[in-house]
Amino acid sequence: MDFLVFQYPMITIQACLDGLLLGILFALIAYGMALQWGVMNIINIAQGDLVILGGYIAYFMYLYGIHPAWGVIVSPIIMYFVGIAIYKLVINKVVDRDLFISILATFGISILFMQLMNFAFGADVVLANSGYGTTMLFDNNVVLPNSKIFSAFISIVFAICLVVYMKRSKLGRAIRATAQNARAAKILGVDTEKVYAATFGINAALCGVAGALISITFTIHPYMGLPYTIRSFMIVIVAGLGNLPGVAMSGMGLGIFEEFADYILGTEFRIGSVFLLLVLILVYRRFKLSRKREYLK
Amino acid sequence: MNKNSWILYIGILVFGLIAPFIFPAFKVQLSILCVLIVLATTWNIQGGEMGYNSFGNILFYGLGMYLCASVQVGMFFPLAEWTESGGEKTFVHTPSQFFQGMAVGLVVAAVVPTIVAGLIGYSILGLRGHYFAICTLGLGVAAGEISGGIEIIGAGQGFTTPPFPNIGGLEARGEFFYFLSFGALVLTFIAVRAIYTTRFRLILNAIRDNEDKAEAMGIETMKYKISGWMISAFFCGLAGGIMGGLVGYIDSTDVAFDGREMGVFMVLMAILGGKGTLWGPIIGATLFHFFKEGFWTFFLGWQYVALGVLIVVIVIYFPEGLMGWLREKYPERFGEVVDEADRKAQVELK
């Protein structure tokens, strides 16, 4: 237990800012989760592993002397095709089946990815050094790495691009139509199979962006995927499907919660507190709904 | 129960009793197989029969593992000093202390998770479908992460369970743990088989098929859901306690709350054999154990890759499992009366 947070306001500000910048990244991943959940009705446990894979792409660019910030462009392009490949191989067989099947199948993909990344990239914790330096605020009491600010900025840019794309483009309209009613969309001439593939590809690309940013700002490790999946799931269930401002807000809230949990409980309980928070949120919603004799579905 | 099934049961029992003497080199493997069957069978109670697919039974398994070892140590020696010393044998259990500790430990390991399941059951089992699945997944991982931060049970460095007393060497150790796990298996089988002949199973099936209707019919579904989960927890805890002694070393995320391995294995074994049947999980666990040992022996290093592929293949192509496939193929053998003309007509309709 460390009560420094309450005695020393600068740490509070530091934690809030860190959490905010981190939360924007989470919101980006969660947006991909909400997209595929809403459109294809699948829950992708391998979401976090796609993020980590995207991070490794940026890391490799860094290793070969290219500035890792370019990973923000390269990683989504590669991840888009990875996403399409996963869709063609596995996801298209689970789309209209029971959700549990999709959870288990993507769990399998997650284990597969974890191990393949472990082989390919080694089990070390790595980060791509962007060399962006830091910004000092409040008489040098609050330290903000510029890479975090950069990553938050890029996340917002991508999120805005995506929203505009979904609103304006033909494919975006088709995706939204399929999410509303897949059968009706099919009747009206939308190739839902293509829409599904594109959705999963876009989701993977978003994961790629987020992963590249995470490899710059934080660290990546082959086995770190699952917490990202759980975080994005949590953000989506708090915000609801198709509620983008909600996703952004709850993402930032989660980021701040995590930073405070880190300070107060200690770093060893950080991931544990995230998972526990998920359980608590679900239980809270369950009790809230059960008053009206409803349940989460 | 007819004569044939009695012969089958007695045959299996006799085989189980003499197996460690026929295959002395595989005692540990056979013990693990018994534990896996226990886990798969009890997962099936709420996963298959009740329709609540849980990833969180690993919670009870890990809890049982830690509890059994802690009780076994804590009854005779200070627990904190034991874990502090790591693998160093500063304290040695005498044989009688070891067995007493194990006996009490196993009882605690089975009872406490049952109580925990009862306590959290009301909150967690109000969630349905995939929310339940994800919530229990979170519960299992959270337990692993949190227990990895608790000093008294070894935190990150792990917990060495009391070594087997120096009587009879490795042979005796293997036989002891084999018969312990085989005993647990027999106990589980008898209990589950007894449960499956009662109204309780029908209620669980009703919950699986349509919970709202079951409630409308006047069944207090929550009560039965919690009981079902508690039964699962009891045997999971027991299996965990035995496994802890067998492995000899407990680590929070790699052995006890190993959602990535054991937590998925139990789901997979039940699905491979066929959810919602008595024999399905048993057959599934046996097959899976062969698969797994094959992978771990011949593809060392690639085992998780193979495992991931296996999960995807099983889930996509055999969601009904072996028993489901057999049932489709030979429905008469499962006591279903099939009108051939009707069946053909149905096929054409599709």
DSSP letter at B160 equals E
Chain A contacts of B307, Cβ < 8 Å?
108, 111-112
- Taking the C-alpha atoms of residue A197 and residue A92, their distance in angstroms, rounded to an integer, is 8
Residue B255, exposed/middle/buried by CB under 10 A (0-12, 13-18, 19+)?
Answer: buried
- Binary contact (A43, B134; C-beta < 8 A): yes
A134: tokens are: 């830091």
pLDDT given at position A1: 47
Which one is predicted more confidently, B111 or B6?
B111
**Which residue carries 């149905």 as its tokens?**
B346
pLDDT more than 70, % of chain B? 90
A284 touches chain B (CB under 8 A): no
pLDDT given at position A281: 86
Confidence tier at B115 by pLDDT (50, 70, 90): very high
- A255 to chain B nearest CA, in Å? 18
Question: What 3-state class would DSSP assign to A143?
Answer: strand
pLDDT given at position A2: 52
**For residue range A207-241, what is the model confidence (pLDDT) as tens digits?**
999 988 888 888 888 888 888 888 888 888 888 77
Confidence tier at B112 by pLDDT (50, 70, 90): very high
Q: Residue ranges of the domains in chain B?
A: 26-303
**For residue range B165-205, what is the model confidence (pLDDT) as tens digits?**
777 677 778 888 888 888 999 999 999 888 888 888 888 88
**For residue range B53-84, what is the model confidence (pLDDT) as tens digits?**
888 888 899 888 888 888 888 877 777 777 76
Interface test with A, best of B141, B210, B221, B307 (most A CBs within 10 A): B141
In degrees, to the nearest 5, what angle opens at C-alpha B288 toward C-alphas B282 and B294?
A: 145
CB contacts under 8 A, B 246-265 vs A, are 260, 264
- Binary contact (B311, A104; C-beta < 8 A): yes
pLDDT at B342 over 70: no
- Binary contact (A109, B146; C-beta < 8 A): no
CB contacts under 8 A, A 118-147 vs B, are 119
Mean pLDDT of chain B: 82
The Cα-based distances of A149 to A74, A139, A287, B306 in angstroms read 20, 19, 38, 40
- Binary contact (A108, B310; C-beta < 8 A): yes
pLDDT at B24 over 60: yes
Q: Residue ranges of the domains in chain A?
A: 4-290
Q: Which of A4, A25, A24 is nearest to A14 (CA)?
A: A4
Residue B287, exposed/middle/buried by CB under 10 A (0-12, 13-18, 19+)?
Answer: middle
Answer whether B43's CB lies under 8 Å from B201's CB: no
Between B130, B260, B267, which is nearest A99 by CB?
B130
Per the DSSP assignment, residues forming a β-bridge with B250 are B159
- Please give the average per-residue pLDDT across B8-24, as a whole number: 81
Confidence tier at A270 by pLDDT (50, 70, 90): confident
**For residue range B194-242, what is the model confidence (pLDDT) as tens digits?**
888 888 888 888 888 888 888 888 888 888 889 989 999 999 999 988 8
- Please give the average per-residue pLDDT across A79-96, as a whole number: 87
Chain A contacts of B267, Cβ < 8 Å?
104
Chain A contacts of B133, Cβ < 8 Å?
99-100, 103
Beta strands at B249-250 and B159-160: parallel, antiparallel or unpaired: antiparallel
Between B130, B139, B156, which is nearest A100 by CB?
B130
pLDDT given at position B156: 67
- B332 to chain A nearest CA, in Å? 28
pLDDT at A24 over 70: yes
Give CB contacts under 8 A, 24+ apart, made by A237-243: A237/A281, A237/A282, A237/A285, A237/A296, A237/B131, A238/A281, A239/A30, A239/A34, A241/A34, A241/A37, A241/A38, A242/A34, A242/A38, A242/A179
For domain A4-290, is the CATH number 1.10.3470? yes
Per the DSSP assignment, residues forming a β-bridge with A143 are A136
- Please give the average per-residue pLDDT across A183-195, as a whole number: 87
- Binary contact (A268, B302; C-beta < 8 A): no
Which one is predicted more confidently, A148 or B153?
A148
ipTM of the complex: 0.82
B82: tokens are: 């034991």
CA-based Rg of chain A, rounded to a whole angstrom? 19
- B49 to chain A nearest CA, in Å? 15
**For residue range A134-150, what is the model confidence (pLDDT) as tens digits?**
777 776 667 777 788 88
Mean pLDDT of chain A: 83
- Taking the C-alpha atoms of residue B60 and residue B67, their distance in angstroms, rounded to an integer, is 10
Q: Which of A150, A114, A77 is nearest to B260 (CA)?
A: A114
pLDDT at B14 over 80: yes
pLDDT at B299 over 80: no
Which one is predicted more confidently, A251 or B300?
A251
Between B130, B305, B310, which is nearest A103 by CB?
B130
- Binary contact (B149, A268; C-beta < 8 A): yes
